Amino acid sequence: MSFEFEETAIPNVILIRPQIFPDQRGAFWEGFKASDFVGQGIPGCFVQDNLSRSKQGVLRGLHYQLEPHAQGKLITVLEGEIYDVAVDIRAGSPTFGRWIGKRLSAANDLMLYIPEGFAHGFQILSEQALVAYKLTTEFAPKYERGIIWDDPSLGINWPIIKPILSKKDRGWARMEDAELNFRYPEEL
């Protein structure tokens, strides 16, 4: 297998470490391999790739798309370092409202898979960062929603307490007022 998969404190949010092959020229590794991912319960089909370049202090999120256009995301940092956060917003989930935060960087080579039914955001810790994320569903603007980054009910410990935000990200509702339509799958 080309990857190590590690469950986090929230089931189905998975930290991924690729197997890296260094030599005198540099290094090589696989960024995605459907058979390995499917074997770990991660979708093997991503339909959209996004790239985001941001400067230090920028916070993007907490974003999600409503059903039937919910998105699973595979997050990879190509340059710099971020603090990546996933919030469980699935009604009926034993971890509803809980969040997980992980430092991802070009130096540590970690990836994070965030399934459908989670709000997602990240904050740039380095001078700048280039973030790539694969999506299981295409962007559908009519279904885009968000939760305010500093919602006190979530208590997310963002490393930078005064982030740079877009107008849209400053205007999201608290979780208690956010439009949610996710159900926790009974089979998990």
Domains in the chain, CATH or no CATH each: 3-175 (2.60.120.10)
pTM attached to this predicted model: 0.94
63 is catalytic: yes
CA 113 to the chain's CA centroid:
6
pLDDT, tens only, 94-109: 999 999 999 999 999 9
Q: Which strands, in side-by-side order, build the sheet including 111-114?
A: 3-7, 14-18, 111-114, 73-79, 128-135, 48-55
- 64, 83, 113, 133: the catalytic one is 133
133 is catalytic: yes
Share of the chain above pLDDT 70, in %: 98
pLDDT, tens only, 13-28: 999 999 999 999 998 9
pLDDT, tens only, 68-102: 999 999 999 999 999 999 999 999 999 999 999 99
State the average pLDDT over residues 105-134: 97
- 63, 64, 83, 113: the catalytic one is 63
